[in-house]
């Protein structure tokens, strides 16, 4: 019985180790990752930061090995031996060479790390902006993201679309309320969104796919569910997305009573105070633009997949997905919610 337990324990530990190694190898894989990771950079700023992190790890790892090795040597060489009795070991008072070594070497290491970090920072921040760059204004809200494309006349929420090309995308970072932080590890470093203090960053991903991120600055009770999704599209996909986003909101067919009733509910309730749907009376700016709501994969800033069932649950009780969210429960009847969902699901 004891042997079986030992074998079972060893097997479980091997399983955990293999799982860890598989996760590490996956983290080093190229392309988009299912979990945000700095170990698979997909943009020039992220590559620069990744190279710097390896350099810092090399230096700090070397320090650990040297200090650990010296400590092990001292422990072994000067361990207590019964044959030596209880006499006091020889005392050494001061050594100019040793004191210079442990003063000068750390100073040199700090200087090297400082200069290397400064070089990377300036290389990223001072990179010239080409005329072909795509401009996007990012506005952080509690607890969702607003993306504006000034040159394209597009406003969307929570899911950023950029083209995969040699031309970078420049992000102008603003905050509508408190401090937020834009961080997609595979695309660039963490950059804060500070009220009344615009910041800027740029990315130039070449490989299409979905890159995941997160607000990295505590901004309130729902900070952990203020998620980021960056879609890097092929040029053809991005052109099609832009064309779709520039279209007006879908209009209900005259014979579709449920959709028409849902639009009436939307326009006569408090929804219009917070949300915008182009071509309707809804011009609110406190909540996400819903003109093309169903073109997004998620709702509630990535907290739930965008399905009619989740949309209904979100309208009925927003706290079900995001406790502490600022969107109130509208206290609508089941019939009104069904009508509202029928209308919102037409907004592609």
Per-residue model confidence as pLDDT tens digits over 200-220: 999 999 999 999 999 999 999
Omega of the bond leading into 182 within 30 degrees of 0 (cis)? no
Residue 315 is assigned to a structural domain of this protein: yes
Residue 251 has pLDDT above 90, yes or no: no
Residue 220: helix, strand or coil by DSSP?
A: coil
Query: Which positions ≥6 away from 206 have C-beta within 8 Å?
Result: 42, 164, 165, 166
Give the number of other Cβ atoms within 10 Å of residue 228's Cβ: 22
CB 230 within 8 A of CB 160: yes
Per-residue model confidence as pLDDT tens digits over 279-293: 888 888 899 999 999
Burial annotation 173-210 (CB, 10 A radius, 16+ → b, else e): bbbeebebbbbbbbbbbbbbbbeeeebebbbbbeebee
Same domain, 276 and 206: no
Rounded Cα gap, residues 154 and 294, in angstroms: 15
Same domain, 117 and 162: yes
Rounded Cα gap, residues 152 and 303, in angstroms: 28
Residue 27 has pLDDT above 50, yes or no: no
Per-residue model confidence as pLDDT tens digits over 217-234: 999 998 999 999 999 999
* Residue range of the domain that includes 284: 257-344
Same domain, 57 and 173: yes
> Nearest 10 degrees: CA dihedral of 210, 216, 222, 225?
20
Same domain, 57 and 202: yes
Mean pLDDT for the chain?
87
Residue 24 has pLDDT above 50, yes or no: no
CB 157 within 8 A of CB 139: no
Mean pLDDT of the 89-110 span = 87
What angle, rounded to 10 degrees, do the helices at 44-77 and 96-125 form?
A: 170
Query: Which positions ≥6 away from 112 have C-beta within 8 Å?
Result: 59
Of the three residues 229, 246, 270, the one that is the final residue of a domain is: 229
Of the three residues 229, 246, 267, the one that is the final residue of a domain is: 229
CB 194 within 8 A of CB 182: no
Share of the chain residues as helix, strand and coil, in percent rounded to the nearest 5: 45, 20, 40
Mean pLDDT of the 33-39 span = 80
Residue 252 is assigned to a structural domain of this protein: no
Strand partners, 134: 169
Residue 10 is assigned to a structural domain of this protein: no
Q: What is the pTM of this model?
A: 0.83
Q: What CATH code is carried by the domain that includes residue 326?
A: 2.60.40.420
Mean pLDDT of the 158-183 span = 95
Report how far apart, in Å, the C-alpha atoms of 8 and of each of 5, 11, 12, 13 are: 5, 5, 6, 9
Reported as type and span, the H/E element at residue 144 is strand 144-149
Same domain, 188 and 277: no
Residue 23 is assigned to a structural domain of this protein: no
Domain count across the chain: 2
Residue 39 is assigned to a structural domain of this protein: yes
């Amino acid at each position: 019985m004891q042997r079986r337990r030992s074998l079972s324990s060893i097997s479980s530990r091997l399983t955990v180790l293999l799982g860890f190694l598989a996760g590490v190898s996956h983290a080093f894989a190229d392309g988009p990752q299912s979990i945000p990771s700095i170990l698979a950079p997909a943009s020039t700023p992220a590559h620069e930061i990744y190279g710097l992190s390896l350099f810092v790890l090399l230096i700090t790892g070397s320090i650990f090995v040297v200090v650990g090795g010296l400590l092990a040597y001292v422990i072994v060489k000067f361990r207590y031996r019964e044959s030596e009795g209880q006499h006091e070991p020889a005392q050494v008072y001061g050594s100019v060479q040793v004191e210079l070594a442990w003063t000068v070497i750390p100073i040199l290491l700090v200087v090297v790390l400082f200069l290397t970090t400064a070089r990377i920072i300036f290389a990223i921040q001072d990179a010239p902006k080409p005329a072909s760059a795509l401009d996007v204004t990012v506005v952080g809200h509690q607890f969702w993201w607003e993306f504006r494309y000034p040159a394209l006349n597009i406003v969307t929420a929570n899911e950023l679309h950029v083209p995969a090309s040699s031309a970078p995308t420049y992000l102008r970072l603003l905050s509508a309320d408190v401090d937020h932080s834009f961080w997609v590890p595979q695309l660039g470093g963490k950059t804060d969104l500070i009220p009344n203090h615009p910041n800027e960053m740029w990315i130039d991903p070449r490989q299409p796919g979905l890159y995941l991120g997160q607000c990295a600055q505590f901004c309130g009770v729902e900070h952990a569910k203020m998620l980021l999704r960056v879609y890097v599209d092929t040029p053809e996909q991005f052109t099609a997305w832009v064309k779709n986003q520039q279209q007006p909101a879908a209009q209900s067919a005259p014979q579709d009573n449920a959709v028409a009733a849902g639009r009436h509910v939307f326009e006569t309730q408090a929804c219009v105070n917070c949300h915008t749907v182009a071509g309707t009376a809804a011009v609110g700016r406190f909540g996400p633009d819903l003109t093309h709501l169903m073109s997004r994969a998620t709702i509630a800033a990535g907290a739930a997949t965008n399905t009619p069932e989740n949309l209904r649950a979100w309208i009925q009780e927003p706290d079900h997905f995001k406790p502490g969210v600022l969107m109130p429960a509208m206290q609508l009847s089941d019939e009104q919610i069904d009508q509202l969902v029928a209308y919102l699901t037409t907004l592609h």
